[in-house]
Chain A
Amino acid sequence: MLYREAGEFKATYQADQAILTIRQDRWFMWAMLVVAFLVIPLVSSEYWLGTIMLPFLILALAALGLNVLTGYAGQLSLGTGGFMATGAFAAYKLATAFPGLHIIAVILMSGTVTAGVGILFGIPSLRIKGFYLAVATLASQFFLIWMFNKFGWFTNYSSSGVISAPPMSVFGDNYVTGPYATAEAKYLFTLTLVVLFALLTKNLVRSNIGREWMAVRDMDIAAEIIGIKMLPTKLKAFAYSSFLCGIAGALWAFIYTGSVEPQAFDVNRSFQVLFMIIIGGLGSVMGAFLGAAFIVLLPIFLSNAPHWFGLNIPVDIISHIEAMVFGGLIIFFLIVEPHGLARLWQLLKEKLRLWPFPY
């Protein structure tokens, strides 16, 4: 209905292979970015930026990572939390061991460390498939958390086992961690990184490596026969996926909470992120964001809903009801659209493009 495409023809392959091929989509995307970078910081409160936008962005990044592995490369993983933890602790160790290191360097390096760990735990994927692999990844989840709990070295022997980020600034005294950091600074810093990595990911999945991943996902034997090597392809997926998860973990620990203990990344975190990509849509960059938004906002909504209706229910009951509704919604969504919000979005778009025709 909104689309007017007649006369939008492609004269070059660059144009034809662009991420957004329709003019109106490009406008929309720019509008979104303007809103994200300018409007939101201006209008929204400390609370919104700090406790809603930040976790949303960071978890979206983690979801993006998992989606590369599970959605694109078809390797089901339940170890996301473990990888996030790795990122967080790597960042902590780096930041404390080399105080001079710039925050961006710290974050990228912690991502790299996590990538290494990811490769390590990805090796079994060559022989193990499907749910066997999923369970195997749980091993990494539990092992890593145990490790960070067990060995004081990771926490610099802090008695509580909690790590806290030292104050760090992007430039001058624009602190993004520690007490001097403003919510705006944190938000913009995170947003920039997330947008950047979203773009990189989109590029990967529309390039050769992305096609190799999907080939492995859709029919691994055929993929092998046309010359795609299983191990490197899968390991690349694990590496990049855990790279993103690691960075998400680092951001979580440093930017969002400021101080964190391993339990913040337990198996529930893994499931939370998995929910995001399932609800959001497997194999879709946009899906990671939609899913993250949904999963982050839903509990907030659920826990506030009763007050709006003037009911007051004991806290523990609320949390139980929350769990119920949450589970119910998950099922509902899977039934309505197993391929997630991204697919719904896509269908809507198709409808608009073909309007008034049904096909």
Chain B
Amino acid sequence: MYERKLGDVVLRVEGISLSFGAMRVLNNITFDVRQGEIRSIIGPNGAGKSSMLNVINGVYHPQQGTITYRGETRDQMKVHHAAEQGIARTFQNIALFKGMSTLDNIMTGRNLKIKSNMLQQAIYWGKAQREEIEHRQKVEQIIDFLEIQAIRKTPVGKLPYGMQKRVELGRALAAEPDLLLLDEPMAGMNVEEKEDMCRFVLDINDEFGTTIVLIEHDMGVVMDISDRVVVLDYGVQLADGPPDEVRKNQAVIDAYLGVSN
């Protein structure tokens, strides 16, 4: 009924190599991400997928290669820079703020948008309160969107795994990112939860036009929802292209038979 059209390149990583001491984690990786697409990086565990994300949002600093984001080319991203430039992400092993409620976790995601200063916040009157309220509204829309109304005020520590994943996604969305990095959003979920998560990912991409880079280690889920896929294995790039192409690729098949998924 409606045709997906991919925009121009927003992110391009070129010849990225990363190593810790003697260990080579990424070896000359090159790919690009287009505006509004769902881009997947797949590969068996230990393929360096997470490291790739960490390079993109500046947690790791590669020894070689360049990262071009929104036309600016750098040798490495800086974490806060990435955040300010509209890159948000979720984590493979959930990195929520355990001491806070769902609501506060997601509110924290909007920290960059809050302008009132410490004094105003201390007095909690006028601007500070106005901001709290208007951001609360935004956050509530996200809560509504992710269908987590029932756990709004629950401390995230008490939530089941699947829910925590959702809250984390919510926190990332709260920043209204242009580029959303999802690190194994479906890992460790049951079929139902996976389907929900898929729906959310698609809806996010669709409703907010957010560009999404997504990591998964099992191909199944990803192939249906992504526009293009990069395959990594032990830090080496095996393939890059539309799902069905990649599916046919011999190297990929071997790699996956290797890990028998």
A and B: direct contact (Cβ < 8 Å)? Answer: yes
Instruction: Report which A residues bind B (CB closer than 8 A).
Output: 13-14, 16-17, 200-201, 203-204, 206-212, 214-215, 217-219, 221-229, 236, 240, 283
**Given known contacts A215-B108, A224-B79, A227-B83, A208 and B97 CB-to-CB distance under 8 angstroms:** no
For chain B, the bracket of interface size reads 35 or more
A226, B100: Cβ atoms closer than 8 Å: no
A224, B80: Cβ atoms closer than 8 Å: yes
B108, A212: Cβ atoms closer than 8 Å: yes
**Given known contacts A227-B80, A236-B118, A240-B118, A222 and B137 CB-to-CB distance under 8 angstroms:** no
Contacts of B49 in A (CB 8 A): none
Closest Cβ of chain A to B152, distance in Å, is: 10
Instruction: Report which B residues bind A (CB closer than 8 A).
Output: 57, 59, 79-80, 82-84, 88-89, 91, 95-100, 104, 107-109, 111-112, 114, 116, 118, 121-124, 128-129, 131-133, 136-137, 171-172, 175
B121, A203: Cβ atoms closer than 8 Å: yes
| Nearest 10 interchain pairs by C-beta | A227-B83, A207-B121, A203-B124, A222-B95, A218-B97, A227-B112, A208-B114, A200-B122, A13-B133, A211-B108
Give Cα distance in the complex from A236 to B111, angstroms: 15
Overall SS of chain A's interface: helix
Closest Cβ of chain B to A105, distance in Å, is: 17
Contacts of B100 in A (CB 8 A): 211, 214-215, 218
Closest Cβ of chain B to A286, distance in Å, is: 16
Q: Name the CB-closest residue of A to B54.
A: A225
A13, B111: Cβ atoms closer than 8 Å: no
Choose among B84, B97, B107, B116 the residue that contacts A227 (Cβ–Cβ < 8 A): B84
B137, A204: Cβ atoms closer than 8 Å: no
Q: Name the CB-closest residue of B to A230.
A: B80
Give Cα distance in the complex from A16 to B129, angstroms: 12
Give Cα distance in the complex from A208 to B127, angstroms: 12
The residue in B96, B97, B112, B129 that gathers the most chain A C-beta atoms within 10 A of its C-beta is B97
A226, B59: Cβ atoms closer than 8 Å: no
A226, B171: Cβ atoms closer than 8 Å: yes
Contacts of A219 in B (CB 8 A): 95-98
Contacts of A214 in B (CB 8 A): 97, 99-100, 104, 108
A226, B109: Cβ atoms closer than 8 Å: yes
Q: Name the CB-closest residue of A to B85.
A: A227
**Given known contacts A207-B128, A208-B116, A222 and B121 CB-to-CB distance under 8 angstroms:** no
Closest Cβ of chain B to A65, distance in Å, is: 13
Given contacts A212-B108, A214-B104, 16 further A-B contacts (CB under 8 A): A17-B132, A17-B133, A200-B122, A204-B121, A207-B116, A208-B132, A214-B100, A215-B108, A217-B99, A224-B83, A225-B82, A226-B108, A226-B112, A226-B172, A227-B80, A227-B84
Closest Cβ of chain A to B76, distance in Å, is: 15
Can you list 5 residue pairs at the A/B interface with Cβ under 8 Å? Answer: A203-B124, A218-B98, A219-B95, A221-B59, A226-B83
Q: Name the CB-closest residue of B to A216.
A: B97
Closest Cβ of chain B to A25, distance in Å, is: 15
Give Cα distance in the complex from A204 to B122, angstroms: 5
Contacts of B83 in A (CB 8 A): 224-227
Give Cα distance in the complex from A225 to B123, angstroms: 28
Q: Name the CB-closest residue of A to B58.
A: A225
The residue in A201, A204, A225 that gathers the most chain B C-beta atoms within 10 A of its C-beta is A225
Q: Name the CB-closest residue of B to A212.
A: B111
Contacts of A207 in B (CB 8 A): 116, 121-122, 124, 128, 132
Give Cα distance in the complex from A118 to B7, angstroms: 50
B79, A208: Cβ atoms closer than 8 Å: no
The residue in A17, A201, A222 that gathers the most chain B C-beta atoms within 10 A of its C-beta is A222
A211, B99: Cβ atoms closer than 8 Å: no
Closest Cβ of chain A to B81, distance in Å, is: 10
**Given known contacts A207-B124, A221-B95, A227-B175, A13 and B136 CB-to-CB distance under 8 angstroms:** yes
Closest Cβ of chain A to B198, distance in Å, is: 24
Contacts of B89 in A (CB 8 A): 225
Contacts of B97 in A (CB 8 A): 214-215, 218-219, 222-223
Contacts of B123 in A (CB 8 A): 200, 203
Give Cα distance in the complex from A201 to B124, angstroms: 10
Contacts of B79 in A (CB 8 A): 224-225
Closest Cβ of chain A to B177, distance in Å, is: 10
Closest Cβ of chain B to A188, distance in Å, is: 23
**Given known contacts A17-B132, A215-B97, A226-B175, A203 and B122 CB-to-CB distance under 8 angstroms:** yes
Give Cα distance in the complex from A219 to B105, angstroms: 12
Give Cα distance in the complex from A240 to B109, angstroms: 23
**Given known contacts A225-B89, A227-B84, A14 and B129 CB-to-CB distance under 8 angstroms:** yes
Closest Cβ of chain B to A334, distance in Å, is: 19
Contacts of A236 in B (CB 8 A): 118
Contacts of A212 in B (CB 8 A): 108, 111
